[in-house]
Structure 1
Amino acid sequence: MNLDQVRYFLRLADKLHFWQTAEHLNMTQSSLSRHIQSLESELGFRLFERNQRSVRLTAAGQLLQGEWQRLLPELEAVQRHAQQISAGEVGSLRIGHIGAVAHAWLPKLLTGFTARYPLVQLELIEVIATESEQRLLTFQVDLGVWRHPAGSPALASEQLFLEPLALVVPDHHWLREEAFTSLADLRQERFVLPALNGDSPYVRVLGQLFAQYGYQPQLTIASDFGATILSLVAAGLGISVLPMSYAGSPMQGLRFIELPHHSPVFMVWRHDDRSAVLQHLLAEARQLKGVLYRAAY
Structure 2
Amino acid sequence: MTLIFLGGLTRSQLSSWVERIKEGTILSVLASLLARLHNVLRDEPSLELNGEYVALWPAVLSNANSYHLRAVAEMLWQLLSQALDIYPINIGYLKLMGDLNFVMNHYAIAMKYYLEAAIVASDFFGQPIPRTVIDDSIFRRMIKCCTQLQCHTQDPLSFSLLAAVLCQFLEEVDYVTAFKSLGERGGSTADAADAHLASCVWDITLLEFLVHLHAKRGEIQRKQQAIKVIGLLELNSNNNEEIQREAANIRKARFLRAISRQYVM
Normalised-by-shorter TM-score class: under 0.3
TM-score by length of 1: 0.23
In terms of fraction of residues, the more strand-rich structure is 1
In terms of fraction of residues, the more helix-rich structure is 2
TM-score by length of 2: 0.25
